[in-house]
Amino acid sequence: MSPDLSAALTGLLGTDSVVNCGMIVPNNLHLPLATLLRDRGYTCYVTVCASHWPAQPALKGAPATEEHFEVATVLRDPTRRDAAHPDGSQTFSWRVSLAPGEAIASLTSLFAGADWQEREQYDLVGVHFAGHPDLRRLMMDEDWPGHPLRRDYAIDTPHAPWR
Amino acid sequence: MTFSCLQPPPLPDPHIDLDAYEAGADLMVLNLGPQHPSTHGVFRIKLVLDGEIIVKAVSYPGYLHRGVEKLFEKLTYAQVTPIVDKNDYLSPMINEQAINMVFEAGLGIEVPRRARWMRTIIAELQRIASHLVAIGTFVLDVGGAIGGGASVFMYTFRERELILDIFEELTGARFHYNTHQVGGQRHDVPLGWDVKIRAAMDSIEKSMDLYDTLTSKNGIFRGRSLGVGVLGRDLALQLGLNGPVGRASGIDLDLRRDAPYHLYGELDVQVPVLTEGDCLARFRMRALEVRESIRLIRILLEDVPEGPIAALKPSKGPTAVKLKDGQWYVGVESPRGELGHYLIASAGANKGMSPYRLKIRPPSLHLVSLVPWLLPGNSLSDAIAILGSLDPVMGEVDR
């Protein structure tokens, strides 16, 4: 990460510890952060990964956690990174934590490639992307009950045979 | 051979409202797939036609959805490798490498040099094998060469067989290899492997000239691919296309050169870039990449590193690898574009032996998401050529 970009991210997020991969960003800063990164060269949309975290009781000193979802986004700067041109990682990723039922802003207005990836995460994990033009299921049937990639969806959940 | 630079037509909106489309037009709905052979797998497209011209294309993937990401929740890290072989079934080796690289990133393991050398050479052989299928099936789709394209199809499968023999000698399997493991390789190089690879490279290089003669000088083939399905650079970048399809539209990005892994940092990878963005450019791009891979393999064979082939001791069971909490993303250059894996590991998931969440970023998903953008405005017969030139693998789209 160049010092220039690092300063811009610090200004936007209001924190000194800007870490690539794994940094948690408030939901309202998700779209501004993606816009800033796209304008600074991260023009290639890579992936979005939603995950479900069920409620956990307090265990071995770790505090109890509420049920929540996490959405990780990865963008890529398609300029060269190797030993001769070192500028950190080519990819930049961050996470957004969501309460159940809370929606995250869709990145389809910035990257057309987000369309199907976000549909897939909506289908399999059940995270809503606000502002998506066509939020339908991608993999499962339109009348499929539940979202299979939630942790509380048993792998042997019975379902009606396909017609 | 030079081609005139074609101006791409204005892009239609894939979310077009058909009620607003030219009142009184006689529109017809046609289902292409899911079992249509030209869709290269099971993939359904609902086409709205005005005469023979496509007005709107709505795609329905999911017919090959097997839920591998759900299976990953229960499988241990060592058990994941043979499963991902089945995702992109035309380049299983690169899938194995990609998934083991993200586990190695999580563990912080340095892979021995000999194993990295093997991975580089295997990846390039696999790229050639995958591109040969793409070249053969595309010529079969558009016809034109001798025997309606079937002869080029047969020739490419003949050459691909040479590479499958090389892999069979290494692993004992022809298709689903399971030869990569966390930290290195499972099987060492057999005796005389390099001689066999050199002979295969010579044979494939000779055949590439033959395919060139059969296709680029054939009027029917050129007529069906030149200027058909032009994909502009901006749209390709927007849709996250960065494989041969992206490079045929002028995106100068190749992870082997730009974010090097394995031994690619020491090789001078020459990345061909074309700007036409039509079906012929995508076809030519794969042929150029095969030639580049042959060149890289010949360089690699000159200097064979000695040493161990795995960083870890041979595992006694499937539970040897354990990861602590963390998140990693690793992307590699597969024959279709960037194949990435986003791994969320948690010490609580099956006592740290299984991934908490492992998201695959398949390049083919982005290739077929192009369909609603690229098909409108083309005729139905051109739709077949466009789908063939994208070369998606449905096992990877649906997973």
What does the domain layout of chain B look like in residue ranges?
68-373+382-394
**What local confidence, expressed as pLDDT, does residue B162 receive?**
92
pLDDT band at B148 (very low <50, low <70, confident <90, very high): low
**What local confidence, expressed as pLDDT, does residue B245 receive?**
92
- Chain A residues whose CB is inside 8 A of the B242 CB are 44, 76, 78
- Residue B172 predicted with pLDDT over 80: yes
Of all residues in chain A, the one with the smallest CA distance to B368 is A116
**What local confidence, expressed as pLDDT, does residue A121 receive?**
92
- Residue B13 predicted with pLDDT over 60: no
CATH class of B68-373+382-394: mainly alpha
- Residue B58 predicted with pLDDT over 90: no
B232-278 confidence digits (pLDDT tens) = 888 888 888 888 999 999 888 888 888 888 888 888 888 999 988 88
pLDDT band at B5 (very low <50, low <70, confident <90, very high): very low
Q: Return the higher-pLDDT residue of A58 and A31.
A: A31
**Residues with Cβ within 8 Å of residue B146, at least 6 apart in sequence:** B214
- Residue B165 predicted with pLDDT over 70: yes
pLDDT band at B38 (very low <50, low <70, confident <90, very high): low
Report yes or no: A21 at the B interface, CB cutoff 8 Å.
Answer: yes
Q: Would the CB atoms of B327 and A22 count as touching at under 8 Å?
A: yes
- HSE-CB at A57 with a 13 A cutoff on CA atoms is 1
- Chain B residues whose CB is inside 8 A of the A124 CB are 69
- Residue B126 predicted with pLDDT over 90: yes
Q: For an interface test with B, which of A70, A115, A132 has the most B Cβ atoms less than 10 Å from its Cβ?
A: A115
B335-373 confidence digits (pLDDT tens) = 998 999 999 988 877 777 888 999 999 999 988 888 888
- HSE-CB at B301 with a 13 A cutoff on CA atoms is 19
- Burial of A155 by CB count in 10 Å (0-12 exposed, 13-18 middle, 19+ buried)? exposed
Range scoring the smallest mean pLDDT among A18-22, A72-76, B369-373: A18-22
Stretch 100-159 of chain A: residues touching chain B, C-beta under 8 Å: 111-113, 115-117, 120, 124, 133-134, 137-140, 148-149, 151, 153, 155
Q: What is the value of pTM for the model shown? A: 0.86
For tokens 């998140």, the residue is: B327
**What local confidence, expressed as pLDDT, does residue B10 receive?**
43
Report yes or no: A94 at the B interface, CB cutoff 8 Å.
Answer: no
d(CA A154, CA A117): 23
- HSE-CB at B139 with a 13 A cutoff on CA atoms is 30
**What local confidence, expressed as pLDDT, does residue B9 receive?**
41
A75-131 confidence digits (pLDDT tens) = 888 877 766 666 667 888 889 999 988 899 998 888 888 888 899 999 999 899 988
Bridge-based pairing state of the strands B326-334 and B53-60: unpaired
